[in-house]
Structure 1
């Protein structure tokens, strides 16, 4: 039986929690600070009822940062190197400095809502806030499974609403201006592939000659290069990311020409050439650092005097051009490696109004021909 006692002007209770199965010692819970004896009795009754039902959780005094470090040791064995690096950066720079000092037992929806709101107020993108949310949620789900928490408090908070930015893409004359300025640059094939296939940066930099069938004019996305440019990753972003892409005649011709140039470099360097079988590489065959590709792209944009866009926006440019030409959205979804067509339509919904108008006009044209 628990006990109710007075301490100065306030009351406290001591509850019996049973025997520790590991140490064999009696477990007790003591809670102070009740203004009346009745308040202490009510609180004690709730604890005793939970103990009887087997649903009682002893509040953990473990700090969130210590729990997260334990969780991450297990988690990183089940995710890719690139994802693990992303998690680690968020933990180090955002999560632990802000809430790492809080005890697990002290975490509440109010505290976590404030944390998320502060991230958004600092100007973090909604996608980054959602990523941080998912990391903390994963760590706290693990705490629930390990019986350190009765429930996950972060599931009760509200995430900030997405603020969709207007997508920046080039039109055909702008693409042609860029091509004219960039065509002699060593890294031009990377930018050309982005425009004509919609591949992601890491996919282009990880592409090997063995992944391309120039005779059938087909390309197979099987690996990516990590963001730091140090690792080839066989893990795809999603299952749909491992895919085949049909090349245009001009793209296949450009790759044939590029392959001949690479062969000359191999011959001239001899044993000094590091053959990683990469299509896009340095003159010595080593992987291109993604940041160097980005810097080259920005330099060529200035030389071409076209609107500044991100390298990733070449992927959007590819998709937008195909949609505007009336290519089936399912085909575009497969080329981009989206998990489903809904993702494609959600991202490129800005193109759909003009397509609706074109579709309506085509109906008129068809019906007039039939009369």
Structure 2
């Protein structure tokens, strides 16, 4: 009888099959998860039990990974396992991984209103193309990869919209020898991420004179034919925040701040979800909509007055 394939062997076959159907950036993310997390733990396994997966998840949480990161890793593990079941190398099992309550989601990093005003004033008063990119993010909630890939041609002044139709990222090329990384510009991962975002009057006033003189095929935050990558832009943003004595916060916190201000301004949740490019409104609700006790009381009072 032929020896059963190991997880490493099944994963290799899965990668060869999977790369035909997904974007390079997605395959790169899968490869990193395999290399950094799954293979060191399951490489020689010829069977994987729920107990093993549960132990693996807890160990990853204890090492400081977030629940979301662990869940993303488990998604890849399940895809490989299902491939192994379908090809007859693994025996079908249903895993139900439980997460401890003390590993609940961390609070989002969001600028206070005063700090956001301070940052926006500095960006407006001290124009550079890199500062403009941060200002656009605060006005639109765009992701850093979308900002880095943004060209002047994506901005339509007559319609007062920004077209989000591509993203820039550095991906890991595992097939190269030796392994390397490279910058790729590709379409957004989901259909919802391709979107038109309205430009507010304040931002429109800043953009109008600039767009009269720039090359439409240049990238916005470099104003050159060559873009900058997210890691480099993050470093610039980090130093800017330090120079303004603003709290240390990841670049993605600008997107969170935009969404939070929208919710605080009583924008309807569906509209906010579409502007952000979320795949469904549940993502927006889970991230940003957390009514306080005062809002709950007002809701009940409003309901009772309607009776």
> After TM superposition, is the score higher than 0.5?
yes
- TM category (shorter chain) comes to 0.7 to 0.9
Q: 3-state SS of the aligned residue for 1:152? A: coil
Distance (whole Å) between structure 1 residues aligned to residue 43 and residue 196 of structure 2: 44
**How far does residue 351 in structure 1 lie from its aligned partner after superposition?**
5.1
**How far does residue 175 in structure 1 lie from its aligned partner after superposition?**
1.5
Aligned equivalent of 1:195:
138
- State yes or no: 1:225 paired with 2:168: yes
Evaluate the alpha carbon distance shift between residue 77 and residue 299 of structure 1 in structure 2; reply closer, same or farther with a 3 A threshold: same
Q: 3-state SS of the aligned residue for 2:163? A: strand
Q: What are the superposed Cα offsets for residues 311-360 of structure 1, whole Å, 9 maximum, x if unpaired?
A: 11111111111111111111111111112222211111235655546667
Aligned equivalent of 2:104:
163
The structure whose RCO (Cα within 8 Å, separation 6+) is larger is 2
Determine if contact 1:140/1:152 at 8 Å carries over to the other structure.
no
Q: 3-state SS of the aligned residue for 2:241? A: helix
**Under a length normalisation based on structure 2, what TM-score does the superposition of the two structures give?**
0.86
Equivalent positions of 1:329-368 (< 5 A) are: 329-350=269-290, 353=293, 355-356=295-296
- State yes or no: 1:299 paired with 2:233: no
Distance (whole Å) between structure 2 residues aligned to residue 184 and residue 360 of structure 1: 47
Q: What are the superposed Cα offsets for residues 42-100 of structure 1, whole Å, 9 maximum, x if unpaired?
A: xxxxxxxxxxxxxxxx8x52111111011111112211121111111111111111110
Deviates more, 1:177-186 or 1:290-299: 177-186
Evaluate the alpha carbon distance shift between residue 98 and residue 217 of structure 1 in structure 2; reply closer, same or farther with a 3 A threshold: same
Deviates more, 1:131-140 or 1:236-245: 236-245
Deviates more, 1:78-87 or 1:251-260: 251-260
Equivalent positions of 1:121-160 (< 5 A) are: 121-152=62-93, 155-159=95-99
Q: 3-state SS of the aligned residue for 1:187? A: helix
Aligned equivalent of 1:77:
20
**Under a length normalisation based on structure 1, what TM-score does the superposition of the two structures give?**
0.72
Aligned equivalent of 1:243:
195
Q: Which runs of 5+ in 2 are unaligned?
A: 172-181
Equivalent positions of 1:270-281 (< 5 A) are: 276-281=217-222
- Count of equivalent residues: 292
- State yes or no: 1:93 paired with 2:33: no
Distance (whole Å) between structure 1 residues aligned to residue 31 and residue 217 of structure 2: 28
Distance (whole Å) between structure 2 residues aligned to residue 301 and residue 354 of structure 1: 33
Q: Which runs of 5+ in 1 are unaligned?
A: 1-26, 28-57, 264-274
Determine if contact 1:298/1:308 at 8 Å carries over to the other structure.
yes
Q: CA RMSD, aligned part only?
A: 2.6
Aligned equivalent of 2:179:
none
Is the radius of gyration larger for structure 1 or structure 2?
Answer: 1
Q: 2:263 aligns with which of 323, 344, 354?
A: 323
Distance (whole Å) between structure 1 residues aligned to residue 298 and residue 163 of structure 2: 33
Evaluate the alpha carbon distance shift between residue 129 and residue 259 of structure 1 in structure 2; reply closer, same or farther with a 3 A threshold: same
Aligned equivalent of 1:208:
151
Determine if contact 1:71/1:139 at 8 Å carries over to the other structure.
yes
Q: What are the superposed Cα offsets for residues 214-249 of structure 1, whole Å, 9 maximum, x if unpaired?
A: 112011211111245711111x23221111111101
Distance (whole Å) between structure 1 residues aligned to residue 52 and residue 232 of structure 2: 41
Distance (whole Å) between structure 1 residues aligned to residue 93 and residue 15 of structure 2: 17
Q: 3-state SS of the aligned residue for 2:290? A: helix
Aligned equivalent of 1:20:
none
- State yes or no: 1:313 paired with 2:253: yes
